[in-house]
Amino acid sequence: MPNIIETDVFTLVHAGLEQKSLADRDVDLIQTMPYFGLVDAEFDKPVIVGHYPVCLYHNQTIDHKPILDVIKNIYSIDGGNVIKDDGQLNVLIYEQGHFTVDYVDGFDYYSILNHQDGNNGTHISWMDREIEILDKKPEFIRVKQRSTGNEAWIHESFVDEVKSEVIDDVTDTVLQLSKHDLFHPLLKTSTGYYGKHNGEVGWYFGALGEYCETH
């Protein structure tokens, strides 16, 4: 497959690129560039990239929805499908001069029965997984991420106590939810559900209603 697909309207590239002519671009960079969405550059037309999961751009929550930066013209769409247990396959649709987004993750979604006010917490990613264990209580462990000093109560299933690491991306974010919103429970605990709503992962402390759909 080609490393770059360029049209009159947008450019498709695996991971990222520099503002150079096509002939001068570094193939290795195109295939492996991390954090392309943070580069200090603006492109003349949308550059659509995958490779780097969009959830890694978020420090306070886990959110797999595409990031469409219309100022830089960088559209990051990798939803962590397959490599993230809670990831999704994002779809970017171009039609009649406009982009829209959708996704599929194969999860079963249920209607929630209680409104819940949300708040952002801490996102500890597997790529920055070293932690210090601070405290314990039934099912949960309070940890401090070594690189940032951020602290969070997380479920014990995400912690490798021997290695002092998290084994997957994890967050203590409380999701903003309204009655009848759709929610997929990834984990049921004594205090509530850890799960997913509209591409975002976090906690819900209410009751679940009936099954609604598989997304």
Residue 154: pLDDT band (50, 70, 90) is very high
19 vs 111, more confident: 111
For residue 24, pLDDT over 80 is answered with no
Query: What is the rounded average pLDDT of the residues 25-42?
Result: 85
Query: What is the rounded average pLDDT of the residues 121-140?
Result: 97
Query: What is the rounded average pLDDT of the residues 112-126?
Result: 96
Provide the residue ranges of all domains of the chain, joining segments of one domain with +.
4-104, 109-214
68-100: pLDDT as tens digits? 999 999 999 999 998 899 999 999 999 988 999
| pLDDT at position 18 | 77
Residue 26 carries which side chain, given as an amino acid letter? D
- Which token pair is 90? 């994002």
| pLDDT at position 89 | 97
Residue 1: pLDDT band (50, 70, 90) is low
| pLDDT at position 82 | 87
Residue 116: pLDDT band (50, 70, 90) is very high
pLDDT cut 90: percent of the chain above it: 83
Residue 134: pLDDT band (50, 70, 90) is very high
CA distances from 20 to 6, 115, 195, 204 (A): 13, 50, 42, 47
pTM above 0.75, yes or no: yes
| pLDDT at position 75 | 97
